[in-house]
Amino acid sequence: MIYNARSLRALLLATCMTAAATPAFADDAAPAASTEAKSGDEIVVTAQKRDERLIDVPIPVSVVTGDTLTRENDAQLRDYFTKLPGLSVYSAGNGRSTFVVRGITTGAGNNPTVAMVLDDVPLGSSTGAGLGDQVSAEIDPSDVSQVEVLRGPQGTLYGASSLGGLIKYVSIMPDPTKFSGTVSANGEAIDHGGLGWATRGAVNVPITPTLAVRASGYYRSDAGWVDDATSGAKDVNNGHAYGGKITALWKPTSDFSLLATALLQNRKTNNVSDMDVDVYGTPVYGNYEHSRVAGTGLGDKKVRLYSLRAAYDMGFATLTSITSYSRISFVGPQDVSQTFGRYLSYFMDDTSGTGVTIANNAYSKKWTQEVRLSSNGSGPIDWQLGGFFTHEDNSTYQTIYAADYNTGAAIDILGNGLYNPLYTAADPDTYREFAGYADLTYHFTDKLSLQVGGRYAINRQSSLESLGGILEGYADDTVDTSAAKSKDHAFTFLVSPSYHINDNLMVYARVASGYRPGGPNLVPVTSANRTFGPDRTTNYDLGLKGQIVDHLLSVDLSVFDIEWSKIQLSQTDDSGFSFTGNGGKARSRGVEASTTLTPWQGMSATGTFTYTDATLREDVDVATLYGLKGDRLPYSAKYAGSIDLEQHFVLPGNVNAYVGGTMAYVGNRYSDFTRSASAVRFEMPAFTTYSLRAGIENDGWTYSLYVRNLTDKLGFVSGSARDTITRTGTYAAGVIQPRTIGLSIGKDF
């Protein structure tokens, strides 16, 4: 769209109406943290399941605050991943996203390589059967203190699926000492698209001196900017999201506390944020255009999470118990015409106007229980001992059927009056894990420390699969049933010496390992591929973090090498059905650096740089994939970086103001491996985006104006072949959000 007086008036009106219609709440003071290490001694993180200064933690950690995300409506990780060094995102924009840390991935469709937690409660499934690497519980920033990204495997404290790293959401806690609240409203206009808006609010209510409740909620109307070339529909990737969270903290004595949390999130997107391109990135129809069978591409995701955390201070140590139950459901029909449309001519004389749809329905239920004992002493030893158990029930239902391209209606391809799917499958899957871990840090002096840790885990999985449909040889509702089981175990470890040059500057080394479970495959494959095995990483880090010049220059530098063995590979058989197998070795090594300069009062200049060389160390020796030693791993940019400037100053009338801008660069990346040497691998070109922001704060009110993607850059965040058998032809390229102008109004009290 072109901005004009009418559209901007509509944007302003939507923002003001939202602010006026929302009840007034206020805000707790969140722990001081920032994407920029403006003063490293103020940043407190929970990366090691303790509250520690960021500069005291011998782990590469990136942090961004909830306030930073809220003021620019950065609601999903794909909106702000460029602010977090080492993190990349593969996203279709309809609720399916795959997160990658330090390049550790072979593509979507496997078990996750990055774990996600909310206040130490695991989020999402640990397996691909529960779509754990694609459907995650991304938390809206309405009640988030900060987001921490731990780079490198975190297998000792966090277990399976933290093969490459960990994303941790830290909540704002209830406060029994004061009533407070916050409310904010946001409106934005998107080039080539429409208008969107969001409102968020939270309230903290002390019930008694020992009991407080915090409640938060949000509603977002997400604008679209992708058009459908066949139907002519505009902005088809629009959607909405809403949710809330209630947290109650009871602390009857100084030694005991009980924290109960209930979270609800619903998000529906009406289509993918993809444009159709050829293998060289040239648009098939036009920029921000694609063509899909009607009714496909949507994503409907529902998240429910309930947790209970009890902590008892025993003097020498604190005993903590964390119990959680979560449910995630995802409905996401896809257009698979280019994969399975080749079979229609076997059953239909006239296939014109006919496409093929796959109905995807996935459900995951997860129980977790963690008990740990953590030392409280100020002596030479800090330690943690813990046990962990999880039980998941995952169900996946898929049906592939012929559909009218323009209406999406199912077609009776045999003319017998029956519903005849090409393929149908139902797969209930169970995952159980038992683990015990220990972590110990010995302080030889007030400067020199050594941390060691270990974790032993056992997991068991079972799958009972029902298969039917014409492609299975059945023209009625007959099904075949097959079962598979798998079991594996792993020991992960860490060794990390560190030395404090002074109170605010530390050097460290870290050797740590990670593990990802294997499991059963979910589709009709040969007996040799009915299950696949676990893979493992070993990470070597050298780091320097802290303040070089007190309150003037800070630095966070790490050099790393990750060795990855028995890599899991998502493959497709000759009929178009995907499965997972194991390959050889891969490696990711590189440099990550972040520096912040505060040359004068109110000024902060932050620069980040990452170099990641993530490649195969051996040829991919499987029939359905082609990759050679030295080939880049998918979705990993060799170079990425950013520069952020922000100046705070005081206007007349004691009004605080700020103005700032960010330049972010993401290097070129490659999509999944091809199926043959003759196929061209899809490349996502490098892109640079610019953003500007300004705001004022006075008497609890905050007014912000921002522009994201100032130059309206067209950038790809994903690219997948629409024909998964040949992996050639048209590609679906996920695109970043075009230029966006937004306004935000907030009130704290």
HEC letters along 490-540: EEEEEEEEEEEEECCEEEEEEEEEEEECCEECCCCCCHHHCEECCEEEEEE
Residue 213, pLDDT above cutoff 50: yes
pLDDT score of 22 = 30
Residue 280, pLDDT above cutoff 80: yes
Q: What is the mean pLDDT of residues 205-212?
A: 96
Residue 387, pLDDT above cutoff 90: yes
pLDDT score of 37 = 35
Amino acid, single-letter form, for residue 377: G
Contact present, 467 and 480 (Cβ < 8 Å):
yes
Task: Match 């990055």 to its residue by tokens.
Answer: 114
Percent of the chain with pLDDT over 70: 93
Task: Match 């049906």 to its residue by tokens.
Answer: 399
Residue 185, pLDDT above cutoff 90: yes
Length of the chain measured in residues = 749
Beta bridge partners of 742: 188, 706
Q: What is the mean pLDDT of residues 98-103?
A: 92
pLDDT score of 523 = 59
- The candidate with the shortest Cα–Cα distance to 312, out of 240, 266, 259, is 259
Residue 385, pLDDT above cutoff 70: yes
Task: Tell me the two tokens of residue 626.
Answer: 């082609």
- Which class for 574: exposed (0-12), middle (13-18), buried (19 or more C-beta within 10 A)? exposed
Number of Cβ atoms within 10 Å of the Cβ of 54: 24
Residue 556, pLDDT above cutoff 70: yes
114 phi and psi angles, rounded to 5 deg:
-125, 120
Provide the whole-model pTM: 0.89
Residue 153, pLDDT above cutoff 90: yes
Residue 220, pLDDT above cutoff 60: yes
Q: How far is CA 162 from CA 101, 152, 159, 690, in A?
A: 10, 8, 6, 32
Residue 111, pLDDT above cutoff 80: yes
Q: What is the mean pLDDT of residues 723-732?
A: 90
Residue 13, pLDDT above cutoff 70: no
pLDDT score of 231 = 94
Minimum mean pLDDT among 413-417, 492-496, 656-660: which range?
413-417
Residue 221, pLDDT above cutoff 80: yes
Minimum mean pLDDT among 151-165, 209-223, 684-698: which range?
151-165
- Considering the chain, what is the average pLDDT of its residues? 88
Beta bridge partners of 646: 604, 660
Provide the pLDDT confidence category of residue 305 given band limits of 50, 70 and 90. Answer: very high
pLDDT score of 95 = 82
Residue 15, pLDDT above cutoff 50: no
Amino acid, single-letter form, for residue 149: V
How far is the C-alpha of 522 from the C-alpha of 285, rounded, in Å?
35
Provide the pLDDT confidence category of residue 604 given band limits of 50, 70 and 90. Answer: very high
- Which class for 638: exposed (0-12), middle (13-18), buried (19 or more C-beta within 10 A)? middle
Q: What is the mean pLDDT of residues 241-245?
A: 95
Contact present, 400 and 358 (Cβ < 8 Å):
yes
pLDDT score of 703 = 95
Number of Cβ atoms within 10 Å of the Cβ of 266: 15
Query: pLDDT (tens digit, 9 = 90+) per residue, 436-482?
Result: 999 999 999 999 999 999 999 999 999 888 888 888 888 777 778 88
pLDDT score of 525 = 52
Task: Tell me the two tokens of residue 262.
Answer: 């209930």
pLDDT score of 343 = 92
Residue 31, pLDDT above cutoff 80: no
pLDDT score of 693 = 96
DSSP for 60-118? Answer: -EEEEEHHHHHHTT--SHHHHGGGSTTEEEEE-SSS-EEEEETT--S-SSSS-SEEEEE
pLDDT score of 379 = 84
Q: According to the CATH classification, is domain 5-748 in 3.60.40.10? A: no
Residue 148, pLDDT above cutoff 70: yes
| 639-651 vs 603-616, strand pairing mode | antiparallel
Task: Tell me the two tokens of residue 527.
Answer: 């007996």
Residue-range domain boundaries for the chain: 5-748
Provide the pLDDT confidence category of residue 21 given band limits of 50, 70 and 90. Answer: very low
Residue 524, pLDDT above cutoff 80: no
User: Which of 238-252, 543-557, 722-736 is the most confident on average?
Assistant: 238-252
Provide the pLDDT confidence category of residue 522 given band limits of 50, 70 and 90. Answer: low
Q: How far is CA 66 from CA 8, 275, 378, 545, in A?
A: 27, 31, 32, 23
- Which class for 747: exposed (0-12), middle (13-18), buried (19 or more C-beta within 10 A)? buried
Q: What is the mean pLDDT of residues 29-43?
A: 41
Provide the pLDDT confidence category of residue 7 given band limits of 50, 70 and 90. Answer: very low
How far is the C-alpha of 343 from the C-alpha of 620, rounded, in Å?
29
Q: What is the mean pLDDT of residues 679-708?
A: 94
Q: In degrees, to the nearest 5, what angle opens at C-alpha 356 toward C-alphas 352 and 359?
A: 155
- The candidate with the shortest Cα–Cα distance to 625, out of 689, 659, 589, 673, is 673
Q: What is the largest CA-CA distance in the chain?
A: 82
Contact present, 318 and 376 (Cβ < 8 Å):
yes
User: Which of 71-80, 93-102, 206-215 is the most confident on average?
Assistant: 206-215
pLDDT score of 623 = 75
pLDDT score of 417 = 77
Q: How far is CA 80 from CA 72, 172, 200, 224, 341, in A?
A: 10, 20, 18, 18, 37
Q: What is the mean pLDDT of residues 223-248?
A: 96
SS3 state at 277: strand
pLDDT score of 465 = 83
Residue 80, pLDDT above cutoff 90: no
pLDDT score of 368 = 97
pLDDT score of 528 = 57
